[in-house]
Amino acid sequence: MTFMAWHESSWVQVQILCAVAVACTLEFVGTHGMQWWDYRLGNFPAWVPAGHAFIFLTSVILARTPSPRWLHRAAYAGLAAWTLWGLLLAERTDYSGVIGLLLIAAVRQHPVMRARIPWIIAVTVPGEFAGTHFGLYSYRPHDITGLLLMGNPPSGLPGGYALVDFAALLMASAVYQAWHRHHDPAEARSALTPPSPTQ
């Protein structure tokens, strides 16, 4: 992971740091506040920040190459099917997929996210099924309010990851601009546009 990030541009490295910060904040809210899931040992594992960084960077790297149209269709169709399964057929009713699809529909309006989302789905879904299968963590049947019913894993997770990526993108843009204004005012205007719209 460190080797991969070291060879990236400063713009991507800032995004990685922002993604980890956002994800770890949501980890705390999800486990302690909303009580969405639990880790096997009941703590915050040391591998979580690195795992989020890896997921984020992998989707960024894969999105640099234009993905075939079938991948977009397969990713969205698969996610919609998972959502319907959770709503209608699963032993544990899962409402989260509807929220996840709404989040994806919203952040997909950004051109950078439009390229990343199919890869976010492709990377996170197998990872979440593996994590729950091997007992690294487990999702509760519902949140603290009892209103949001969830599967294990919930079908809304890809939407959550997409939201993290989008928040990291916006945060990184603000940090990047502020850095240039402070260290090189002459380049502040050019810094308003990140180096590459595909990164």
pLDDT digits (tens, 9 = 90+) for 144-169: 999 999 999 999 999 999 999 999 99
Best-predicted range by mean pLDDT among 26-35, 130-139, 168-177, 186-195?
A: 130-139
pLDDT confidence of 11, banded at 50, 70, 90? Answer: confident
Task: Tell whether omega for the bond before 153 is within 30 degrees of 0, i.e. cis.
Answer: yes
* Domains in the chain: boundaries: 71-191
140 pLDDT more than 90: yes
Tell me what pLDDT residue 184 has.
Answer: 63
What amino acid is encoded at 64 in this protein?
A: R
Tell me what pLDDT residue 41 has.
Answer: 86
153: Cα separation from own chain's centroid: 15
90 pLDDT more than 70: yes
pLDDT confidence of 177, banded at 50, 70, 90? Answer: confident
In the chain, % of residues over pLDDT 70 = 87
What's the CA gap between 113 and 96, in Å, rounded? Answer: 21
Least confident segment among 27-36, 137-146, 185-194: 185-194
Asked if 52 contacts 113 with a C-beta cutoff of 8 angstroms, the reply is no
β-bridge mates for residue 149, sequence order: 142
**DSSP reduced 3-state for 146:** coil
